[in-house]
Amino acid sequence: MPSLRFFLLVTLLAAIVLAVPAPIRKRGLQKRSFKVPRQLNTAHPTGPNGYAAMRKVFRKYNFKVKEDFMVKEGFISQSKQDLNATSTAAATTNQTGAVAANPEQNAALFLSPVDVGGQTLNLDFDSGSSDLWVFSTELDPQVIGKHAAFDASKSATFKKTAGSQFKVNYGDGSGASGIVGTDTVTIGGVKVEGQTVELANKVSQSFVEDTNTDGLVGLAFSSLNTVNDGTKKTPQKTFFDNVMKDLDLPVFTADLDPDGTGVYEFGKIDATKFEGQMAWVPVKAETGFWQFASTKFSVGDQTFDNPQGSDAIADTGTSLLIVDQQVADAYYSQVKGAQLNQQVGGFVYPCAATLPDISVAVGDSYMAKIPGSQITFATVDDANTTCFGGVQGNQGAGLQIFGDTMFKAQLVAFNGGNQSLGFGQKPLAQ
């Protein structure tokens, strides 16, 4: 029979246990989930632009533009121009000067605030790459222009990693390179100390021209990180990899509104944002991307097998849903008046057309549906009578890129714990 003394002892022990501080966490990491807004880039010159969006994703993934597909004055000359601009970007003060007067339309549409060593930068959260790089005062002031640029000498917490470098190439000429260090990075109020931060001392022209994007937060797998120590690759951990262990769930979600603004949430899946159960699909993490098979699609009620279908990746850094060309062809064959427009770089149709729903397979077990009412990406003329589709073909590139068009219709959870993607159908916005 337990004595009073025993009872007291147990009580005392319990009190001692309660008094023991919780396991020490890094300062600021008590929070187990957090949100960060994804805001419209107010400096964006024109709002959504189909041609620019198409060019950006083709360039990022080094997709070849078919000469017979896109005529000279459309796609091709533009991307070649950019390619040439790259090597000389840091020195092209004249091109930089021209920018203010004639801003490029290739800018990131949406940005999120990130604090690096006490300095706030507007960064593009990109699940299609793995470097956290920023404009820095290592760059020529004329290249920095109106960008916020990280000044390492003003951060008490920055430590340079001697000898290390980075070089990201987003395909056909666009990219950045520079030096490497670590600093305290705070996103949504959650701090990671010792986060690898890459300081650009060279950026390609398209980043120079995108005056409000101060860099990227790569959210693909750390294996794709481009840091090297001068002789060999030494991939550094992404922000997500560093913060993952301190989260309630090892996930982040992209929750986009129909206008493309929205929230990235880390550590939590908000079940009020989608209907029914979340469907989980393992990804091929060994590719470094959030990559999966996609060998089926539906247009309206009709489902098609696409056994030769390319793998697809989930990319928050891309505006469009880029599918295999035959999928895009099949879809637009069901849209009255749709045509492939070479000047604009993709499928356009009368804005008054009724668009069928499209569903694309995610792995073997899930079809991600995008309602017809959410397909249109932009208008292409001043009268708003011709529209540019948010679904476009990859011209046989061999990879499908599922971007914002999908994230507006699907709540997608990126699970770094078991390397899978969760999909939930969002209710149709009224």
**Residues involved in catalysis:** 126, 315
Nearer to ligand NAG, 305 or 381 (CB): 381
Pairwise CA distance, residues 41 & 111, whole Å? 6
Smallest separation, CB 157 to ligand NAG (Å): 33
The pair of structure tokens assigned to 96 is: 């930089």
**E strand or H helix that includes residue 308:** none
Smallest separation, CB 92 to ligand NAG (Å): 8
Count of other CB atoms within 10 angstroms of residue 240: 26
Smallest separation, CB 122 to ligand NAG (Å): 23
Nearer to ligand NAG, 48 or 288 (CB): 48
Of the candidates 140, 227, 232, the residue with the CA atom closest to the CA atom of residue 182: 227
Binding site for ligand NAG (CB under 6 A): 77, 80-81, 84, 93-94, 249, 280, 282, 379, 383-384, 415, 418, 420
φ, ψ (nearest 5 deg) of residue 421: -115, 135
Nearer to ligand NAG, 261 or 302 (CB): 261
Smallest separation, CB 392 to ligand NAG (Å): 21
Any alpha helices (H) in 127-227, and if so which ranges? 141-144, 205-209
Residues 6+ apart with CB under 8 A from 310: 294, 324, 394, 397, 398, 399, 400
**E strand or H helix that includes residue 177:** strand 175-187
**E strand or H helix that includes residue 234:** none
Nearer to ligand NAG, 188 or 424 (CB): 424
Pairwise CA distance, residues 240 & 192, whole Å? 10
Smallest separation, CB 265 to ligand NAG (Å): 15
For residue 379, list its beta bridge partners: 387
Of the candidates 208, 213, 185, 269, the residue with the CA atom closest to the CA atom of residue 40: 213
Nearer to ligand NAG, 107 or 116 (CB): 107
